[in-house]
Amino acid sequence: MSHIVILLVDLALIIALARILGAAARRLGQPPVIGEVLAGVLVLPLIVTTAPGAALFPSAIRADLSVLANIGVALFMFVVGMELDLGAVRRGGRMAISVAVTSVALPFGFGLLVALVYADQHAPAGARTGFLMFFAVAMAVTAFPVLARILTDRGMHHTTTGSLALVSAAINDVLAWVLLAVAVALSGQGGNPPWLLALSVPYLAVMLGVVRPLLTRIMPADRALSPGSLAVVVGGLLLSAAVTEWIGLHLIFGAFLFGTVMPRNGVRQLVHDRVAELNSVLLLPIFFIAAGLAIDFSALGAGGLGALALILAAAISGKFLGAFAAARLCGAPVRQAAVLGTLMNTRGLTELVVLSIGVQLGLLNQQLYTLMVIMALVTTAMAAPLLSVLQPQRTIDEDLRATAATPVPGRLG
């Protein structure tokens, strides 16, 4: 078969498996992303290792898939940026800010301790500081999009607890991406001259002072989304991603920032829906298979299970205890604090994006990458069953009635 025929067959196979396993995950009460990720990190790699599967995924095809996966990550981060309500972040009350800060700080600290344990064995030569920083940041991530989807599916997004979780996760996102940018800069693995990083300051100024008002003029609230406007948005986000990749950060930061400067009007929702739908059907499943092909399950042997247990313990306890303690100190009941701790443990696709950056920069080897991917899946999959125990439908209904009677400051609309 020709190269293009193999590529088209592979794309069809990837999309079909992602949709099938995503639907299966939903039927089991899990976010669809769990099934879609499993399609990429487990099912398709098993297919690739067989004789017929190996013929479908030669090295040339994998290079094509890698390019498409990076575009998918850029579009995903653009959508994440659009979903981030900076107004809600600024209005976040004392509890939301406290939960966000501690649910970053504590797992970051725990992650740093775990990284110190494995640095001599796994840190790349000359990049020990970057390795320590990156590993700690990877432990501190919360997947805002997956958390929001879980809340919506359970009818919790308009409850007091759900609103607090959304605002806390939004603040967490801002902190985590800033820390990740620092980690990437410290890694020194990009191969670019250090002076290029200084361009991030004028780049940020241009995005906020020029691009944001320009987008507001191009896409006013009372005008339907035209193909031309959509082309400007997609072209702009790809160009922004290219700039941050060039200056030595990573393309995700440019795409994310372009999403945050999008005007918050009716057209914004149309852009969000079109980009998110296309990306979730076509490009993100390709990212999952690209992420899966880097996994080596033999990492679970020769002490790997012990390392996995330590990583899971640090990741889960850091997030849960950080959020729980902050919520309790701010006066939240035990149940609400436990729900917040459970929700902030959701890592999902965002964690996979962060881990893929670590692999690209050479900061994570195959063994640690595999263990961290398993951690991301476990912490995301455990959210739904734990929430069913901590927040059954009866308490959700009670929370909704209480919320209707008493508006929550800083609540997302």
Q: How far apart are CA 273 and CA 36, in angstroms?
A: 19
- Which residues touch 413 (CB under 8 Å, ≥6 apart)? none
Q: Return the amino acid letter for 306.
A: G
Domain ranges of the chain: 70-405
Please report the pLDDT score of residue 410 as a whole number: 42
Give CA separation, 162 vs 34, 37, 47, 320, in Å: 21, 25, 40, 16
The token pair that represents 160 in the structure block: 């007091």
The residue whose two tokens read 């501690």 is 102
Cα(78)–Cα(238) distance, integer angstroms: 9
From 3.30.390.50, 3.40.50.720, 3.40.228.10, 1.20.1530.20, which CATH number describes the 70-405 domain?
Answer: 1.20.1530.20
- Three-class DSSP labels, 193-219: CHHHHHHHHHHHHHHHHHHHHHHHHHC
Q: What is the DSSP string of 85-121?
A: -HHHHHH--HHHHHHHHHHHHHHHHHHHHHHHHHHHH
Q: What is the pLDDT of residue 89?
A: 67
**Coil, helix or strand for 411?**
coil
What local confidence, expressed as pLDDT, does residue 413 receive?
33
CB-based contact 288:21 (threshold 8 Å) = no
Q: What are the backbone angles phi and psi of residue 248, rounded to the nearest 5°? A: 105, 5
pLDDT at 404: 65
The per-residue pLDDT for 382 is: 92
Tell me what pLDDT residue 51 has: 64
CA gap 139, 142 in Å, rounded: 9
Residues 145-185: pLDDT tens digits?
888 888 888 888 778 888 889 889 888 988 888 898 888 88
Rounded distance, CA 235 to CA 186, Å? 29
Over the stretch 261-310, which tens digit does the pLDDT of each residue have? 998 877 788 888 889 988 988 899 999 888 888 888 777 776 788 999 99
Query: Which are the contacts of 398, defined by CB distance < 8 A and separation ≥ 6?
Result: none
| Distance from C-alpha of 166 to C-alpha of 88, rounded to nearest angstrom | 9
Contact present, 165 and 340 (Cβ < 8 Å): yes
Question: What tens-digit pLDDT sequence spans the chain (413 residues)?
Answer: 788 999 999 899 899 999 999 999 989 888 888 888 888 877 877 777 676 667 778 888 888 999 999 999 999 999 988 887 777 666 668 898 999 999 999 999 999 999 999 999 999 888 899 899 999 999 999 988 888 888 888 888 778 888 889 889 888 988 888 898 888 887 765 556 666 677 888 999 999 999 999 988 887 665 677 888 889 899 999 999 999 988 888 899 999 999 999 988 777 888 888 899 889 888 999 998 888 888 887 777 767 889 999 999 999 999 999 999 999 999 999 999 999 999 999 998 889 999 999 998 889 999 999 999 999 999 999 988 999 898 887 777 777 776 666 554 444 33
Cα 103–Cα 141–Cα 350 angle in degrees, nearest 5: 150
Structure tokens at 215: 């987008």
Q: Are 130 and 363 in contact (CB under 8 A)?
A: yes
